Structure formats: C-alpha cells, structure tokens
Structure 1
C-alpha cells in the first residue's frame, strides 16, 4: 500500500486490573482507564450516562516479531480450523491493536472505572467512545462453532464468584 502512515498517540492508560495477559477468565476484572491529565474535564462530560464503552488499545507487551501473517489454528488447537490473521483477535495482527467493550461503572474526573476490560495494567488506550446500541451489528449474526468453544470460559470470574 502507498498510504501514508497514521500517527496515533495514547489518550489514556489502564491502571490496575490484571497484571498478566491470559486467554480466559476475564470476568469481574475491574480497572481504571486514566485519561491524559492534559485533557480538560469536559472530554468526559455526559459519558456517565452510558453503560458500556468501545475501547481501542495496543498490545503493548507484544513485539513486531509476534506478527503472524498466515493461517493457523486458534490457540494452536488442531481441533479448530486454520484461519487467517484477520480471523483472530490477538496480538499477532499488523498494528497490534484490539477492541474491547467494557462496562462503565463510574466516571471520577478523568478516571473511568470499568469492569470486564480484557487489557492489562499499563496498556495504552488509543481511543474510546460510548457504545451506541444503534451502531451495533445489524441483522442476524453468523459465526462458526469454534469461537464459542474457544471462548466458553473467557468471561468466567477467576475468583469463582
């Protein structure tokens, strides 16, 4: 491609929550998305009215050597079919970015208290917005069986609560 590179700067950082990334058991995880203190408080005005956020974040612990532009079985499980890079939702992507949909618990100044954010402490946040259900998927959803099998325990609470 001949497109110019896009410069993206973090707007916030994840504080607290999980320290180590894992494949499953993200349910109940609470963290703070701490926005850049240089931003005026007005940037979050009205955000507390929403239940969920769309958060774009960087796999900051991954390296460029982790990028895998080929087909492979999800989680290297041979029971699941080999699928291409853009069928996976992991750090092996070219820009090593992820999207999550955490619950917004409260807004305290520039600290956004969230639950079910599957990013670890120290993760750079590159963008966020409230989730509008009107802009969610339209029509019926379709997917093969393997994502449901693979993610069966993704949102389990690690404490068993």
Structure 2
C-alpha cells in the first residue's frame, strides 16, 4: 500500500489543553464550547452550513503516539480490538466527533459538545444528517452495557 497525505484545513480551539481528565466522547462534553478556525482559503466551503444543527468533524489525534491492536478502553476493564473501540491510539490517528453547530462567522465555526484537545488539526467537516447518519436500532456490541458511562467518564492518560 502507498501512504496517504492529508493537509489540515483548520484548527480546533477548546478549553482542553491536557488529554488527561477531559471528556471521552461528545456526550460527556454537553455544552462545552469551542471554535474551529479554518484556513481562510476554505471559507467558501462553509456556504449553507448554517442550515445544519450538527456537524461531523474529522481530525488528526496529533498528541497520540503509536498504537496497540488490543486496548483496554475508558469504558471497560477488558481488552478489546482497537477497531471495536474509540480509543485514540490507532494505526491512523483519526478522530471523529459529532458537534452542535452554534454559528459560522467568516472562516470560524463556534461549536458545542467539544471533546477535542486545543490545537487539534482539522481534516474535514461534513454536515450531520439524521436521515443518513442515525441508526438508533442497531447493535452497539460490548458498548451497549457501558455507553451511558461516557456522559461522566473522563480520560485518564492511558493513551497519552
């Protein structure tokens, strides 16, 4: 296989400066506000985004190093395959968060439910569309019994 290169289109600004003791999912960061500052060259790509209440943000987990194929995730004490978790140390350090879109002003988006480290490079933004993106009747594997804990669980540095 050949390598893939992404160029960041912007940066996340959030109150979280340390990966320890921060929310582990957007559901645990309800109301936490941040901004996404895009490179002005991409501002025209934000046209019509204000019609959406949520966005899907793809970003580079820039503070992680290495990975393991089996991990003990924040919401369990049992090892699981990394692809059956949302652990940040992955073969390709790509993060995904569904955030509430508050405003778009020029090349800056104000968002809520931010569970992302300050300074995180943004790879892409997509609109969240419930008809396309929500599957409430699907199975959640081992997370079905622990997902509610994501509302209060904080990171602990195990993936730093």
Give the TM bin, normalised by the shorter chain.
0.7 to 0.9
Q: TM-score, normalised by structure 1?
A: 0.80
- Does the CA contact (< 8 Å) of 2:74 and 2:153 recur in 1? no
The structure with the greater share of residues assigned to strand is 2
Aligned residues: 147
Q: What is the CA-CA distance between 1:7 and the residue it aligns to?
A: 1.0
Query: Does structure 1 residue 53 correspond to structure 2 residue 67?
Result: no
Give the structure with the higher percent helix.
2
Unaligned segments of structure 2, at least 5 residues: 155-160
Matched, 1:74 2:93: no
SS at structure 1 position matched to 2:58: strand
CA RMSD after TM alignment: 2.2
Structure 2 length normalisation: TM-score?
0.81
Alignment of 1:3-14 (within 5 A): 3-14=1-12
Task: List gaps (5 residues or longer) in structure 1.
Answer: 156-161
* 2:26 counterpart of 1:35: no
Equivalent-residue separation in structure 1 for 2:13 and 2:136 (angstroms): 36
Contact 2:73/2:87, CA 8 A, preserved across alignment:
no
Q: Residue 119 of structure 1 aligns with which residue?
A: 116
Question: Deviation string for 1:56-97 (max 9, x for gaps)?
Answer: 011111113xx1112x4323853xx32101011122210111
Are the counterparts in 2 of residues 18 and 29 from structure 1 also a CA contact under 8 Å? Answer: no
CA distance in 1, matches of 2:153, 2:99: 13
How far apart, CA to CA, are the structure 2 residues paired with 1:105 and 1:15?
Answer: 14
Structure with bigger gyration radius: 1
